[in-house]
Amino acid sequence: MASRYDAIVGGGSVAGLTFASEAAKRGLNVLLLEEHEEFGEPEKCDGLVSLRGLRMYGYGPIGKSIQALVNKGVIHSPMGSSLTVNATALEVVVLDRSMYDKQIAQRAYERGANLRAGERVKHVVTEKDGVKVEGKEVYEGRYFVDATGPASSPREGIIPAAKYEIEGEWVEEGKVEVFLNQEKYPGFFAWVIPYGGTKAKVGASGFGINAFKALDEFLAGRRHKIIRKIAAPIYVGGPSERFVEGRTIFAGESAGQVKPTTAGGIMSSIAGSVIAARWVAEAIRSDDPALLTNYQRDWTSRFGREMQSMKRLRGVFEKLNNKELDSIVATLSTPKLLSKLSSTDFDFHATALLSSLGIVGVMKLARVVASAEAKQLLRGFS
């Protein structure tokens, strides 16, 4: 047995790499194992994120890892009406996730973390004072950090998704689009995220659908050339109940640190890892594993309320049919509301929407939906 690590991380995407970087910064001896041969690959994520959020945790992207700026977000109703939010003040960008992940890996490496790509965590055994993690060999550590992503997310809330990178003359730079349709994409939507010139990341997801078929149908009327195709599940089930189990700490998507509305998880996963590393370091310094409970407390105090609101909004959304979605889009499309939304926080969009609507606005939405359940859920917000 070569050495005993303070923390052994399984998974080398944003959450795992950020944890390794932060733990190494705090002087911990950390080992990270990533099953793929290259950090950042295969790139599944669209990289739509707010710069503000990333900078807050010290992980703002550098140079060319920003592929594009977003200046508006358009939501299309099933019947084709739409609402447009001016996003120029929201500092939303599209990241080259592969490059961004490599930047975090580089930083973790420079801080002294041991990073190993091409090594899968096969098995973890928890003992009284530590863990044994089996990769290509067996490593000993005090704690195991599970950052293996959706594979370890709570199973409920995982939806199949298909994503293509394409080129098409109809792609409009800076304009992110969401297409709602409960028959085609039940419980989710199709999306277009431009990332430079006429290139876009397009995707479709929904409960119980063949996501590739849905995406092909979406693209059928839009001339395009496919650059690459990716299949990846998204997670919308909300934070898990426990972020720490014995000597295992869950970070990022494996802790469900993902928005239940859009499945965006870059910023909240980075935040999770920054907070987790802080408390793992404290637990080791004080020789007191009980301090780890502060990780969930701190993350929840920042994101708990928003995640709960997003989950409740998802609950309403899942109850709506296409006709009701049309009415909702029409009701939300007032200059006053759109103007308020254009100066809110992208990472806290549920809170932003609810506070911009106010009680009167929420009750107005409750009036336009027919479903008794959705009405009831909406009234619960007032």
Ligand X SMILES: Cc1cc2nc3c(=O)[nH]c(=O)nc-3n(C[C@H](O)[C@H](O)[C@H](O)COP(=O)(O)OP(=O)(O)OC[C@H]3O[C@@H](n4cnc5c(N)ncnc54)[C@H](O)[C@@H]3O)c2cc1C
Q: Segment near ligand X (CB under 6 A), from 9-17, 70-78, 274-282, 368-376?
A: 9-17
Query: How many residues touch ligand X (CB under 6 A)?
Result: 38
Within 13 Å of residue 196, how many CA atoms lie on the same side as its CB?
Answer: 10
| 163 binds ligand X per the rule CB under 6 A | yes
| 45 binds ligand X per the rule CB under 6 A | yes
Beta strands at 131-134 and 138-146: parallel, antiparallel or unpaired: antiparallel
According to CB under 6 A, which one of 26, 38, 44, 212 is a site residue for ligand X? 44
In the complex with ligand X, the residue whose CB is nearer, 191 or 279, is 191
Query: Nearest to residue 149, comparing CAs of 293, 56, 258?
Result: 258
Whether 76 contacts 175, CB under 8 Å: no
According to CB under 6 A, which one of 166, 176, 190, 258 is a site residue for ligand X? 258
According to CB under 6 A, which one of 78, 160, 237, 252 is a site residue for ligand X? 252
| 234 binds ligand X per the rule CB under 6 A | yes
Q: Strands, DSSP E only, in the chain? A: 4-10, 30-34, 48-50, 66-69, 72-76, 82-86, 92-95, 114-117, 123-126, 131-134, 138-146, 158-159, 161-167, 175-180, 189-196, 199-205, 225-231, 234-235, 244-245, 248-250
66: helix, strand or coil: strand
| 13 binds ligand X per the rule CB under 6 A | yes
In the complex with ligand X, the residue whose CB is nearer, 47 or 361, is 47
> CA separation (Å) from 278 to 13, 52, 264, 312?
19, 21, 23, 30
Terminal Cα-to-Cα distance of the chain (whole angstroms) = 59
236: helix, strand or coil: coil
In the complex with ligand X, the residue whose CB is nearer, 104 or 328, is 104
Provide the mask over 51-90, with x wherever binding to ligand X is found by CB under 6 A and - wherever it is not: ----------------------------------------
User: How far is 316 from 325, CA to CA, in rounded Å?
Assistant: 11
**Site residues for ligand X, window 198-217 (CB under 6 A)?**
203
Query: Nearest to residue 263, comparing CAs of 210, 228, 310, 299?
Result: 310
| 14 binds ligand X per the rule CB under 6 A | yes
User: How far is 63 from 330, CA to CA, in rounded Å?
Assistant: 39
According to CB under 6 A, which one of 8, 30, 33, 280 is a site residue for ligand X? 33
**Site residues for ligand X, window 311-330 (CB under 6 A)?**
none
In the complex with ligand X, the residue whose CB is nearer, 34 or 165, is 34
Cβ at position 42, least distance to ligand X in Å: 8
Beta bridge mates, 163: 203, 230
According to CB under 6 A, which one of 62, 138, 151, 370 is a site residue for ligand X? 151
Residue type, 366: A
Cβ at position 135, least distance to ligand X in Å: 7
| 49 binds ligand X per the rule CB under 6 A | yes
According to CB under 6 A, which one of 67, 114, 269, 296 is a site residue for ligand X? 269
Q: Segment near ligand X (CB under 6 A), from 46-54, 61-69, 238-246, 316-324?
A: 46-54
> CA separation (Å) from 219 to 162, 211, 224, 229?
12, 12, 8, 13
According to CB under 6 A, which one of 66, 121, 180, 249 is a site residue for ligand X? 121
**Site residues for ligand X, window 274-313 (CB under 6 A)?**
none
341: helix, strand or coil: helix
Note the residues at the interface with ligand X (CB under 6 A). Answer: 10-16, 33-36, 44-49, 120-121, 147-151, 161, 163, 203, 232, 234, 252-254, 258, 263-266, 269
